[in-house]
Amino acid sequence: MSNVMIRGVIPLILCFLQQNFFTSLFQGFIHPELLLCWLLGWGLLAGPREGFLMGLYCGFLADLSSPVFFGFYFLFCGCIGWFSGQVREQVNQGAFMLPLMFVLCGTVALQVGFLIIALFTQFSLIILGAWFLGLVEQVVWNGAFMLPIFGFATYIWHRFCE
């Protein structure tokens, strides 16, 4: 299995699952952000440069399949990938709750970005209420999916990329 396949195909599969399978399984916009979980795990394992490049790729895939403004995921995921790589260099590698804490912060940041865009395009208190109710459920689902995806990313990294 080459590095190109690992870096290119796995996010593509996760994007497909996120947009097709999980969207029909979960109602509305509340579904696990598999690409965000993969990106955070990859950035923590690979460092800032690899995290940034994977973030741009994951963001591009998410933008292609997303109804929100094109480029939002691209910029957001690139920044998150770089940031998670920077944290990798500063924090002890044995910090086991770090991926879970990261996905919670990343989910909140993503939802705040959606809220800002929604408030600029059409201000409404209904949007604010729906955002808050959806935030809790989104954090729970991403937290539940982060540990298996991070474990998978760790296995792939140690098996094929080191």
CATH number at residue 89: 1.10.1760.20
Output the six-digit token pair for 65: 């399949």
Domain span at residue 47 reads 3-161
pTM of the predicted model as reported, rounded to 2 decimal places: 0.73
Give me the mean pLDDT over the 13-36 stretch.
Answer: 73
Residue 81: per-residue pLDDT: 87
- What is the pLDDT, as a whole number, of residue 1? 52
| pLDDT number for residue 5 | 73
**How many domains does one find in the chain?**
1
More confident residue, 86 or 2: 86
pLDDT at 19: 76
Q: Which of 68-72, 76-80, 101-105, 112-116 holds the top average pLDDT?
A: 76-80
Give mean pLDDT, residues 115-144: 67
Range with the poorest average pLDDT among 31-35, 36-40, 137-141? 137-141
Instruction: Show the tokens assigned to 75.
Output: 């910029």
Residue 47: which pLDDT band, with cuts at 50, 70 and 90?
Answer: confident
The contacts of residue 121 (CB under 8 Å, 6+ apart) are none
Report pLDDT for 131: 62
